[in-house]
Structure 1
C-alpha cells in the first residue's frame, strides 16, 4: 500500500475523523516497484520452519532479518525441490541463499568517558538511514534518518523511540527529533498505523501509542504549529485503535476495542495475526504446545498482543501469574494503554484548537472525558488504592500492583486523591534501591521482578512530579540513575534493563541475552541527569 495523498483533500475532510472513527488501512507492504514484499514465514514457509525449528541460529530473530540473495519464490521452489535429496545440507543452503544479518554489536566505549560523553558518542553509532532498502529485505524503508535501540535491535521501534527522542533533545539533536517524528507520521500514512518496528514481520501490530507524546515534544521545540501539522496522522492513529467500536455490542470485543456491559468503550492490545511471532517462532510454538486445552491460534494471538504491549512478557498477562502458557492478553483492558489513548484524545483536541476547528475540539474532548470516567469506574480499585487492569471476559479487576498504575498520573487523568493513594501504594510495594519495580512477581519473565526498565522510571518520575509527589519521584529517579552509573562504572555500557536490587547488575530473563546500546536507557538517563544531576558512583556491595 502506497502513502496516501492528501493534496486533493480539504482541511475539513482531514478533520472529519473528529466526528466518527474511520476504518484504519489494512496492513500490507509493497516495494518501490509495487511488488508484494511478504514477511519470511509467508515468503518461504517450509524453509522458514525448518531453519527455526532446527535452531540454525541461537537467536530466532537472526534468520528473519537475513537478506535473500534472489527472489524468495525461487528460493522456496529450489528448497522444496532439493530438501529430500541425498547430501542436502540446510545450513549450506541458507548460506548460499541469504546474507546473514550479522551478530549483535556492542558499541565501543571510550576509556574514561563520562556517561554523557558515552551517550553523545553513541547517537551516530545507533543512527540509520534507509530511504531505500535492498530488494526482498524484511526492513521497511523510512524517508528520514532514525535511531535504533542497539544490539540485536537494528530497526526503529515505536515506543522505544519516544524515550530515545527525549535524550536526543537533551543532547541538542533537535533535527533528529523532527526526523523521527516525520518517520512515524510517514508510517501512519503508509500502513494506517505505526507498526511495532519497521520490519515486514511487525506490520500486524503496533505498540503503546506514544506518537502524541512525540508530537508534544516537537511542539515544545518549535511551537504549537507542530500540532496542526501532525493532526491528520494523530487522527489516523486514533482510528486504528478505535476501528470497530461503532458496531460493537456490549460485552464483546473486536480488534483493539472492548465494549463493556454499560456501553463504555475501552481498548486492549491485539494483533491481526494468530500465528507464532516470526522473530520468536520456536518459543511461541513450544508455548502453545504447553497449553493443549487451548486453541494454539488463541495462544499465539495473546503472545503477539503481549508483544504489542511492550511488556513481553509479564505476569500482568498471565492467567495464573506464573506460566506463559496461561497468557490471556486480549482478555485484559490495560490501564497504561487506555491512559495513553486518553492522552491521544486530549492531544487531538489540542491540535484541533490550533487550527480553529471547534467541533473537533469538542468531539475529542468529550471522548477523553468518557474514557476518563470509564477508567475511574473500571480500572480504579478503591479497595487497593491504586489503578489496575480489568479482565473484561471475567468481569473483574486484576488485583496485582504494577508500574502501569502510574500511567494515569503520567497522562494527568487521575484525581489528586487517587494520585496520592497510588503514590502511597507504589512507595510501599514497588520502590526498590534501583528505582521502581515493574511488578511484585518474580517468575523469570523480563517484565517482572527484579527488573527495572528506563521508560517506566520516566513515567513514574513525571507522573509523580505532576501531582507534587516530588520526594518519591526523586527517590525513584535518583535510584535508577545510581543503578545505571554503577553498571557503567563496572562494564562501560548502558543496557536494556536493570536488576533493581542495587548491586549494579543488568536485568535477566526474556527470550534473548541482555542487550547493550541502549536507546531508551540513554534517553532517560540524560533526562534524569538533567533533572537531578549526576549522583556519586558507588561500587557493588
Structure 2
C-alpha cells in the first residue's frame, strides 16, 4: 500500500530545500568570460585549489606494478586457486596461441579435486621445445580430468515471482506486435536467472565464484556472474516486470559483498576483489523502495550504504594505497602474467606491453569506470597506449557519489534518522557545488571531465584551470542531468 505524502516520501530536491539553503553555482560565473575559456584569477584559483576538493573528487581505480613506492604497494593474489588458474591460463595461451584466445574461461574453472593434487598433475604434464609448451591434447585432457566446466557452479533457477504476463505490465504499450516483443524480452528473465550451487558455499576454496546467498540474474553469454553496475539496469527491468522479490534478492547479494569486503566488487569472482564499479547500490535500493515501500529493505541496506560511502570517500582500500590527503585514487597491482595475457588477447605485442607498462593500470581504471574502453580516457584519441584514466577527474563518478549521498539522505529520512539525513544533504550540497565549480562549462552548456595538468595523481596540489577541461562530447558530459538538482534553468 502506498503511504501518504509525508516526510518519509520526500524526493531528493525537496529534501535539499527542506534542510539546506541554496548556495550552488558560486564559482560558475568566474569560469568563462568574453566568450572564451581562460584560467581563473589568482583569488578564484585559490578558492578552487583542488586540494580543497580532495575530500570530494575521486579518480577511478588503477592497477600497476613496480612504480614509485610513494604511490603504489604490492597486492598479493587473492586466493591460492586463482594463483594456480593464472598459471593454467598462461599455459593455455602458449598452447593454443593468441588468435581468438579467450582468457576468461580459465579463471572461471572450478576444481574437481583438491588444489594440491591438481597442481601436482599440472606440474607433471609433458612439455616440449624451448618454450616448454604443453600439447593441445595433453592440456585438454588435463582440464577435462581435473576441472568442471566454467559456469557449472551456477545452477539454473526458476524465479519465484516470474509470471508470463504480469498484471499492469507496460500498460501504455498498445501496439500488439510491440507488446508481443516486450513479453518475449520479459521471458528472458527465466533464461538469465541462476543460483550459486551449494558446493561453492561448502568448499569455496575450489571455486573463484563467490558464495552469494540469493538468486542472481547474470548478464549472459560468457559473463556468468553478477556485475555491479549491470545490476542497476537489471533491477530497473525487474521492477518493470513486477519481479520485486528477485530485485530485492539482487540487492541482498550486493549487501553481502559490502559486508564481506567493505564495498561492492566489480563482479562476484575472486579475481574482482581488487576493484569496484560505478557505485549504484544506493540507487537500486531507492528504486525498489519507490515501487514497494519496503521499509525493512531500507533498514537492512542503510548500514551497507554508509559503509560503501565511507569506502569511496576514504584513504583506504584493501591491499592498496590510496593517497592522502591528495586526490582520492586507488592504486592496485596486477601480476605480469595477467598483464601479458590481457595484452596478447588485445593483440598488443609483448615488447609494446613492456614499453608501455604504465598503460596497464590505466586499463584497469577504465574497466572500473564502466567505460572500457573510450577515447574519453586517451590523451591522443587515436592511440590506445595514451590512456591516462588515473589523471582524470570524471564527471560521472562524482555524480554517482552525489546520487549516493542524496539516496542515503532520502533512505535515512524514511527511517526517521534526521541526523544522518542532514549530514548527507550537507555532503551532497558541497559535492554539487564542487561539480559545478570544476566540471561546468557555461559557454558549452556541459560538464567536462577535468585532466590533471601534471598527468599524475601523485602531485600534492593543483590549481584549477579551464584549459584542462576535456571539451570532447561524451554522454558522461550530461550525467548530472540524471540528478534532480541539475536541470534546465537552474
TM-score normalised by L of structure 1:
0.60
Shift in Å, 1:326: 1.6
Residue among 103, 109, 130 paired with 1:60: 103
The partner residue of 1:282 within 308, 323, 344 is: 344
Structure 2 partner of 1:355: 415
Against the structure 1 CA distance between its residues 40 and 390, is the aligned structure 2 distance closer, same or farther, given a 3 Å change threshold? farther
Is residue 177 of structure 1 aligned with residue 247 of structure 2? Answer: yes
Residues 1:130 and 2:196 aligned together: yes
Q: Secondary structure at the match of 2:189?
A: helix
- The RMSD of aligned alpha carbons is 3.3
1:373-426 Cα deviation digits (max 9, x unpaired): 1111111123432111111254622221100112101023425347xxxxxxxx
Would the aligned equivalents of 1:44 and 1:73 in 2 still touch at CA under 8 Å?
no
Aligned to 2:274: 204
Q: What per-residue deviation string (whole Å, max 9, x for no partner) do you get for residues 156-195 of structure 1?
A: 1111111111111111111111111111111111111111
**Cα distance, 1:181–1:378 mapped onto 2, change above 3 Å:** same
Matches within 5 A, 1:50-449: 50-55=91-96, 58-84=101-127, 89-101=138-150, 114-130=180-196, 132-134=198-200, 135=203, 136-223=206-293, 225=295, 226-244=297-315, 255=322, 259=326, 270=330, 272-275=332-335, 276=338, 280=342, 282-283=344-345, 286=348, 289-290=351-352, 292-294=354-356, 296=357, 298-394=358-454, 396-417=468-489
> What's the offset of the Cα at 1:281?
6.4
- Higher normalized contact order (CA 8 Å, seq sep 6+, divided by chain length): 2
Shift of the 179–331 alpha-carbon distance from structure 1 to 2, 3 Å rule, reads: same
Structure 1's 313 and 365: CA in aligned 2 closer, same or farther, altered over 3 A? Answer: same
Further displaced range: 315-324 or 176-185: 315-324
Partners of 1:172 and 1:309 lie apart in 2 by 30
Q: Secondary structure at the match of 1:286?
A: coil
C-alpha contact (below 8 Å) 2:262/2:307 kept by paired residues: yes
Q: Deviations over 1:316-348 (max 9, x none)?
A: 111212222221211111111110100111112
Structure 1 contact 299–325 (Cα < 8 Å) conserved: yes
Taking the aligned partners of 1:206 and 1:189, their CA distance within structure 2 comes to: 14
Note the residue ranges of structure 2 that are not aligned, 5 or more in a row: 1-54, 57-76, 153-176, 455-461, 463-467
Secondary structure of the 1:244 match is coil
Question: Which has the larger Rg?
Answer: 2
1:49 is aligned, of 87, 90, 94, to 90
Q: State the 1:77 CA deviation.
A: 3.2
Query: In 2, distance between residues paired with 1:175 and 1:311?
Result: 30
Q: Give, in whole Å, the separation in 2 of the partners of 1:102 and 1:133.
A: 13
Instruction: String of CA shifts for 1:460-509, please: whole Å, max 9, x gaps.
Output: xxxxxxxxxxxxxxxxxxxxxxxxxxxxxxxxxxxxxxxxxxxxxxxxxx
Q: Is the 8 A contact 2:321 2:331 kept in 1?
A: no
CA distance in 1, matches of 2:323, 2:342: 23
Cα distance in 2, alignment partners of residues 405 and 292 from structure 1: 34
How many matched pairs? 362
Q: Deviations over 1:228-261 (max 9, x none)?
A: 3311011111122112189xxxxxx96498845x
Question: Which sections of structure 1, spanning at least 5 residues, go unmatched?
Answer: 1-19, 22-35, 104-111, 247-252, 261-266, 419-541
Distance 2:248 2:194 in 1: 15
